[in-house]
Homo-oligomer: A and B are copies of this chain.
Amino acid sequence: MQRFLPLIAATLAIGFASAALAQAPKPEEEIRYRQSALNVMGRSFGALWAMSQGKMPFNPQLAADSAAIVEMMSKLPWNSFGPGTDKGAPTKADTKIWSEMDKFKDKADKMQAEVRKLAQTAKSGDEAAIKAATGDTGKACKSCHDDYRLKEFRQ
């Protein structure tokens, strides 16, 4: 059952203090994990975005389900940008992240705040409000991507 390791990685993923634990995830595992969470988040946000742009029929259940996924995923990547995780696998994370960590975390916090509003709004089924909250969230995503996500993978 070694396949379920790395064990300790899981603790970081949800913000549990791991100082007392011996085994930290490897940089390539952290890179893969944050990419995974952001990929899952991006697909569900894609549905919300398509609905907000009229490219897909508005579906309140789909909106609520998608926003719940986005909300859960929005919490996960940030602890995987720790020291030493700036390289180790192909990544689009700009190295500026590690020299501007406070600014980066601030943008991540702002995105999460918008996502919380979006997820709350999505439960209401109010189409106009959901579309507006999707736009606000998209802006928060874009603000961080513009500053900290490279267009191409680097090593």
| A142: B residues at CB distance < 8 A | 1, 3
Query: Which residues of A (3-48) have their CB < 8 Å from a CB of B?
Result: 3-11, 13-14, 16, 21, 32-33, 35-37, 39-40, 42-48
Answer whether residue A97 sits at the interface, using C-beta atoms and an 8 A cutoff. no
- A36/B40 in contact, CB under 8 A: yes
| A35: B residues at CB distance < 8 A | 36
- B44/A33 in contact, CB under 8 A: no
A-B contact pairs, 25 of them (CB 8 A): A1-B138, A4-B141, A6-B46, A7-B47, A7-B49, A7-B55, A8-B50, A9-B43, A9-B46, A10-B66, A11-B56, A13-B47, A14-B44, A14-B66, A14-B69, A16-B59, A21-B56, A33-B39, A33-B40, A33-B43, A36-B40, A37-B40, A40-B40, A68-B72, A72-B72
Interface residues of A (CB under 8 A from B): 1, 3-11, 13-14, 16, 21, 32-33, 35-37, 39-40, 42-50, 55-56, 59, 62, 65-66, 68-69, 72-73, 76, 138, 141-142, 145
Q: A3-B42, A10-B46 are in contact. List 9 more A-B contacts (CB 8 A).
A: A1-B142, A4-B49, A4-B141, A7-B46, A8-B46, A8-B50, A10-B43, A13-B47, A16-B62
5 closest A-B pairs (Cβ-Cβ)?
A10-B47, A7-B50, A36-B36, A36-B39, A10-B46
